[in-house]
Amino acid sequence: MQNSEKQSTLFWVSIPMIFFMLFFSGGFCADEKKDTTPTISPTPQSVPTPPASKPLLSPLSPLKTGLEFLEGVALTEEQKLNISNVYDESQQKITQFRIPPKTEDKEIVRNRDVLQKIRQVQQETFAEIQKILTEQQKEEIIQRIRMNFIQVSSREELSPFQLFADPIFVANLRANPENTDEWRSPFELSEAESEQIPANIIDKPVLNILTQKQITPAIICSDAVFLRRVYLDVIGTLPTVKETTDFLNNKQPNKRSSLIDTLLERPEFVEYWALKWGDTLRVKAEFPIRLWPNGAMVYHRWIRDSVRSNKPIDVFARELLLGTGSNFRNPPANFYRAVQNRDPNSIAEAVALTFLGVRLEHWHKEKQDQMSVFFSRVGYKDSAEWKEEIVYWNDKPLELPEVILPDGQKVRVAEDQDPRQIFADWLVTPQNPWFTKNLVNRIWFWVFGRGIVHEPDDFREDNLPSNPELLNLLVSELVQSRYDFRQFLRLILNSRTYQLSSIPRTTHPEAELLCAFYPSHQVEAEVLQDMFRQILGVNIQYASDVPEPFMYIPDWRRTIMIADGSITSPFLETFGRPTRDSGVESDRNPNATVAQRMFLINSSEMMQWIENSWRLRNAANAASNAGKNSEERRILMLHYLWLTILTRYPTSHEINMAKALFDQKLFSQIKKNDTVIYQDLIWTLFNTKEFLCKH
């Protein structure tokens, strides 16, 4: 069938699914590999050829973008020169594919022919570089690539054939506790089970204000809901079918806290939270931020390394504020480059937004001017290296040596003292009225989708916290932990407040504001795209809207790992990925849009993803081999779909509804085989709020 014919029949094919979709559509959002070893492909960049006297990979020079895989490898001078020649030759070939700057069609940078030609050049370039390297060097590179990239998806992810070949797995599906005549909610525990979940210090101020307002909190969420929620909130990844069944079958009383500890040490944790900080710190190569690719990559790598090492957040902030030197060699210096304007007031606005949670325009003009003085001696100068810039302290004395800090305290800046040092010392003290409150509120927002002060970066006198007692407690806990991010996050995740169901037991208008239930909110665009990758096995193509320099991301690389905010795809733009132009949290659009619904319901791209999914074909074949008859084969496949897409077993009611779709007498006017019905079911589940939202 041709694509036009498929699209013309799409509406009629989906008629039997309408009631099924309606059944799943309510109650969660407030608003409406095939596994292969990846190849190492250098990213082409428009980089001027260095002089012959200056080796490309000298110890003091940063690697060109696309050759990062050679970092740390001991190369001879001859190898460095040969690699430099191969690399520069590839850049000259790439220039043939550049887009005229006056073109009005931005989508041309995603032209398949251009991408194909660039891929061919990359493959040829890498083949030539391989000839230059020794076998030991190649093995060292492969190991590093595996540690840095493949480890992110190195979970115990069994193929459908392996799963259905396991008699214990199949027996568990047949004995699914949800397949009973007695209906129970798959989204929350019983009241008796809910009482068994321990409380921690966070729950007291939450319960105090709920009691005061006479608001009944929700019941604790079910194990399946908790599993999905904590995976998405902590590592931005869905659990595999094996991980889901193992957790649901685990009878240990402390399995939730054990899972939290495990996730906090997973490599995906580093990538996901580097993504969060990347939004806040405006990690973007192109306009209007203009870090350029090398700067964006080293900046993101430093953020990722800071998260991996669990660097205390106050140390993290101090290093950013005092960042000086080359933006290639001292990554924190990029903080002062990641601003649209470089005058002192613009820098002060970025500092206030990032570290104080304050929008400077709400302050009086005199207070703004005093804040700007601390950054009035930040200077910039170019170097001989392409796109490198030096951030430095201009030691010219201030006009007035006495400056007023945001809390009203007067300080004197010595002639030989960088004013930023005084500000950084003041900022990270526990007595600072803004810094720690901003941090705990921002982290709370990242976890719950709503800050105690909301918007999370808009602290002001007329925007009061919903629960001051809770905010002060969190500040105290973060200070006592010495700004240990993992420990603080662990405290939140182990609370009953975090583990409440998203189904409220009250209609009180302040219930959501006061954490009477878990507030459902839409999954981030990057995470959602990775969810489709994981479930369907599809590859996504990325591109930069600005063709100079052209940036290429391998198809196999997960979206949450992309460092540069300029690298995008139509899917990410449709689903609200932030531009990273301002660092404001509201830059990420959390609300469902008409364009998103049209993509999910009526997109030919989505249809092709589902129809061409090799993962789902393998699952259907594996279920067919494991089932004793047609009915059991269908039930096994339905269980697999629910566990894969919704991270839970289907209820008996859902099984009966789905089984009705196979009744050819009921739908005799539309002849469908099992494969088409499975595809309809998958499409329906993808359009449910249960799939699209954290709940």
Q: Using CA atoms, how far apart are residues 549 and 291, in angstroms rounded to an integer?
A: 12
Provide the pLDDT confidence category of residue 62 given band limits of 50, 70 and 90.
very low
For the packed helices 630-645 and 652-660, what is the interaxial angle rounded to 10 degrees? 120
Q: Lowest mean pLDDT of 156-170, 342-356, 529-543, name the range.
A: 156-170
Higher pLDDT, 157 or 659: 659
pLDDT of 124 reads: 76
CA distances from 690 to 29, 104, 215, 685 (A): 8, 39, 25, 8
Q: Is the per-residue pLDDT at 25 higher than 60?
A: no
Provide the pLDDT confidence category of residue 621 given band limits of 50, 70 and 90.
confident
Q: Using CA atoms, how far apart are residues 399 and 377, in angstroms rounded to an integer?
A: 11
Q: What is the rounded average pLDDT for all residues in the chain? A: 81
Q: Is the per-residue pLDDT at 522 higher than 60?
A: yes
Domain residue ranges in the chain: 1-38+159-183+593-695, 68-148, 268-436
CA angle 206, 210, 213 (to 5 degrees): 145
Distance, CA of 207 to chain centre: 31
pLDDT of 576 reads: 92
Provide the pLDDT confidence category of residue 18 given band limits of 50, 70 and 90.
very low
Q: Is the per-residue pLDDT at 46 higher than 50?
A: no
DSSP state of 355: I
Q: Is the per-residue pLDDT at 36 higher than 60?
A: no
Under 8 Å between Cβ of 439 and 313: yes
Span 465-503, pLDDT tens digits: 999 999 999 999 999 999 999 999 999 999 999 999 999
Higher pLDDT, 57 or 500: 500
Highest mean pLDDT among 286-290, 561-565, 659-663: 561-565
Higher pLDDT, 632 or 410: 410
The verdict on pTM exceeding 0.75 is yes
pLDDT of 111 reads: 52
Percent of the chain at pLDDT exceeding 70: 76
Span 156-212, pLDDT tens digits: 456 666 666 666 666 666 666 555 444 567 888 888 888 888 889 999 999 999 999
Q: Is the per-residue pLDDT at 56 higher than 80?
A: no
Residue ranges in 339-418 assigned as alpha helix (H): 344-351, 365-373
Q: Is the per-residue pLDDT at 39 higher than 60?
A: no
The whole-number average pLDDT for the span 554-566 is 85
Give the start-end residues of each E strand in 268-362: 325-326
Q: Is the per-residue pLDDT at 330 higher than 50?
A: yes
The whole-number average pLDDT for the span 289-297 is 87
Higher pLDDT, 26 or 241: 241
The whole-number average pLDDT for the span 32-57 is 36
DSSP state of 221: B
